[in-house]
Structure 1
């Protein structure tokens, strides 16, 4: 039995039996809504037997498989694990990178055509196909006509420009914006640049000349939605999408704790296994070692973040970077959360530096709050007054005496061993004055002890408890 909240029941009422866009904020239960639509559509169309879900790789097990189990839809399987000649499950889970490979796309198309039944397609984090030139979009576009029901789901469907709606709407209904992206863009968008408070528009006819178009781009021009056509643009989409901001959902619990899993790269996995087994790991031509269980546990936490400190330097200034898997997971999550403020808890200085470098690259505003922060009071105030979008904080520095009720989101990029600091960190946003539901995210590496450590800390465990869990 699927138990739905009011906003999810409203979604079913609107989207059952239709092709639809579910643009739901982070934590609003997109996965459960997608599964519930499959159940309801089967009642409408008895020939509907199969559901194929395409999502980011890290969400297959942590979100879709987990929710399938929770609600009793247990006949599911990862597409890459289905062998030729095997009976097909009711629900097929796949990731974008796998589906876009030619032979895999041909395989799933053959499955659909030869199954003798109707299929439903769900695209999770559909912003993955926001660019019409990418292999992701082209693969999904080839697959979608074979499915009788199609749903696109994202918390941030168009993170850069409203033009990014085109691919996703095109999957559910080609008649809304037409089949030609460039014609669509010419109809609703202008090529503009803002300079000293004034908007400059490029001549549409001149843009047909490639060299001139490149010149405009070099001057900072970009495609923006024509303000005179904004109402028409969204009115055309409205019958085919539901858009819900998480902050507007009144029946959510006061706080939600959500786990995001990611896979270590081959190099990260090699270092992790070596350190776990032998207390020593080889990185390039260098050996990094430790001589205690506690030291090994510390190194494991570092490795899952893609780096490790060299014990030969007591000041931890000698560091080896060799992975970005957790960082990539963080960036995907920040895109999903969208234009909201976020507290990012990072235990190690190197993690903070890695995150700051990426936020600089993306042009995001942020502050830090750790031992190296010069003016801590200013950093706290800047975030509280919404002058910056992100704060990268260390629990030892920022877990006490701070009120950030302006914020709803916290991400535990890494954690230290203190139950007290953990609960104090939670309370930075969930405290008197908070009027919105709060969301806490934990980035956990698959195949490591991250999950076990988190559970021990949540249960008010001690450092010795964590060490015992680690040694199991």
Structure 2
């Protein structure tokens, strides 16, 4: 073990279970310290070079982690450096969407590949997945994820191939899923799963370790509170006709995707009642609050509201990552855009999350809740869902609780049923 690292018992157990394996997956629940387990395994494997692929928002965290705990490594945020000038004992860090555009990485040899949030390669046809699966040739593989399948076992196929289990998607579906013919779409759809215990044994054989928080720690209870918000005539008008006027602009939902998006916006920042309800919630406490949102306009409105209320603001989105107010001020409001901050952040100084609007991605939804409900949290956690009455948001929450994405296709089917 690295001299600067002190592991929890459950982290040592995960490493011990996989000691003799060089291709491993640590599917540890959010908050159980996958970063430490993955980096310690990387250190144990001791290859000359190491490649860490993560989300853009996590690059600085990984860099700081290795520089703090593994000072023998040269840590490089990889851009376009020549591989010839990179010395042994290096850790290269790059985000998923840059990695597949860096063809020179395919020439990397004698290296360990660590994929943070390995569910990012669940779509084997995406550019990022093809690059990892077909073009990289690592000596060792480490996969990290708290939500490797998001309730959909079929999404793990690309990951198990990296572990060395060479099973085709078609054979996986035959052995482990229940399918029915969909008369509407003209294809088979997955309606359930079978042989799940056998699947888990197989995954364990190939180096996968599954661990849930409740199996390790007694974390405080979670409390989920639906906050009903009065809806608007504009929402009802757009819901019925898919066209409405908003602040002098004609809003048209001429495709299922655009109709779904605008309904979410009419139920969100276009609903002044929701903004007022958020204001009341913020005024009701001086505690640290986390607010999740989707759209840029939502951020503008909420940050302006916080300014009016004289509350210090931290921000995590695609353009900015500033947690200084969160760290320093007990009454801070931290505004987080789902894709930029639902994963990876340690925010257990707060125990209250407000969902101004919902994401339509199950994995992001589950990950967001774990920002506060994790090791170090000693208070009950509260989740406030602001839901415009009679709106798409109630159905979205129901689907998310079933660990499913609220897709455009699902929205379209529900529109047809109307």
Equivalent pair of 2:311/2:332 in contact (CA under 8 Å): no
Residue of structure 1 equivalent to 2:174: 186
RMSD of equivalent CA atoms: 4.2
Equivalent pair of 2:312/2:332 in contact (CA under 8 Å): no
Equivalent-residue separation in structure 1 for 2:45 and 2:278 (angstroms): 47
Match of 1:3 among 6, 9, 14: 6
Match of 1:67 among 65, 68, 81: 65
Equivalent pair of 2:315/2:321 in contact (CA under 8 Å): no
Specify the SS of the correspondent of 1:10: helix
Deviation at 1:250, TM superposition (A): 1.4
Q: In structure 2, do the counterparts of structure 1 residues 58 and 450 end up closer, same or farther at CA, with 3 Å as the change threshold?
A: closer
Q: In structure 2, do the counterparts of structure 1 residues 66 and 247 end up closer, same or farther at CA, with 3 Å as the change threshold?
A: farther
Equivalent-residue separation in structure 1 for 2:263 and 2:24 (angstroms): 33
Deviation at 1:141, TM superposition (A): 1.1
Deviation at 1:21, TM superposition (A): 1.1
Residue of structure 1 equivalent to 2:273: 372
Deviation at 1:77, TM superposition (A): 0.7
Residue of structure 2 equivalent to 1:108: 105
Q: In structure 2, do the counterparts of structure 1 residues 99 and 367 end up closer, same or farther at CA, with 3 Å as the change threshold?
A: closer
Structure 1 unaligned residues grouped into runs of 5+? 43-47, 113-117, 193-201, 203-214, 256-315, 320-353, 377-392, 403-408, 424-441, 462-472
Residue of structure 1 equivalent to 2:19: 16
Moved over 6 A (4+): 251-255, 316-319, 418-423
Q: Greater relative contact order (Cα 8 A, min sep 6): structure 1 or 2?
A: 2
* Alignment partner of 1:34 is 2:31: no
Specify the SS of the correspondent of 1:64: helix
Deviation at 1:187, TM superposition (A): 2.5
TM-score by length of 1: 0.50
Equivalent-residue separation in structure 1 for 2:291 and 2:33 (angstroms): 18
* Alignment partner of 1:164 is 2:36: no
Larger helix proportion of the pair = 1
Equivalent pair of 1:190/1:225 in contact (CA under 8 Å): yes
Specify the SS of the correspondent of 1:7: helix
Deviation at 1:129, TM superposition (A): 0.8
Q: Deviation per CA, 1:418-439: give whole Å up to 9, x if none.
A: 999789xxxxxxxxxxxxxxxx
Aligned length: 281
Deviation at 1:36, TM superposition (A): 0.9
Residue of structure 2 equivalent to 1:94: 94
Deviation at 1:96, TM superposition (A): 1.6
Specify the SS of the correspondent of 1:16: coil
Q: In structure 2, do the counterparts of structure 1 residues 138 and 398 end up closer, same or farther at CA, with 3 Å as the change threshold?
A: same
Equivalent pair of 2:316/2:323 in contact (CA under 8 Å): yes
Residue of structure 2 equivalent to 1:296: none
Deviation at 1:158, TM superposition (A): 1.1
Residue of structure 1 equivalent to 2:407: none
Residue of structure 1 equivalent to 2:122: 130
Equivalent-residue separation in structure 2 for 1:165 and 1:359 (angstroms): 32
Equivalent-residue separation in structure 1 for 2:64 and 2:169 (angstroms): 37
Deviation at 1:124, TM superposition (A): 0.8
Equivalent pair of 1:17/1:41 in contact (CA under 8 Å): no
Deviation at 1:450, TM superposition (A): 3.6
Larger CA Rg, structure 1 vs 2 = 1
* Alignment partner of 1:242 is 2:230: no
TM-score by length of 2: 0.56
Equivalent-residue separation in structure 1 for 2:189 and 2:13 (angstroms): 37
Equivalent-residue separation in structure 2 for 1:359 and 1:411 (angstroms): 20
Equivalent-residue separation in structure 2 for 1:96 and 1:80 (angstroms): 12
Equivalent-residue separation in structure 2 for 1:358 and 1:155 (angstroms): 31
Equivalent-residue separation in structure 2 for 1:166 and 1:399 (angstroms): 47
Equivalent pair of 2:123/2:158 in contact (CA under 8 Å): yes
Specify the SS of the correspondent of 1:218: coil
Deviation at 1:135, TM superposition (A): 1.7
Structure 2 unaligned residues grouped into runs of 5+? 223-245, 250-257, 294-298, 334-418
Specify the SS of the correspondent of 2:40: helix
Equivalent-residue separation in structure 2 for 1:171 and 1:253 (angstroms): 36
Residue of structure 1 equivalent to 2:189: 222
Q: In structure 2, do the counterparts of structure 1 residues 96 and 191 end up closer, same or farther at CA, with 3 Å as the change threshold?
A: same
Equivalent-residue separation in structure 2 for 1:253 and 1:51 (angstroms): 37
Match of 2:284 among 386, 395, 400: 400
Equivalent pair of 1:56/1:124 in contact (CA under 8 Å): yes
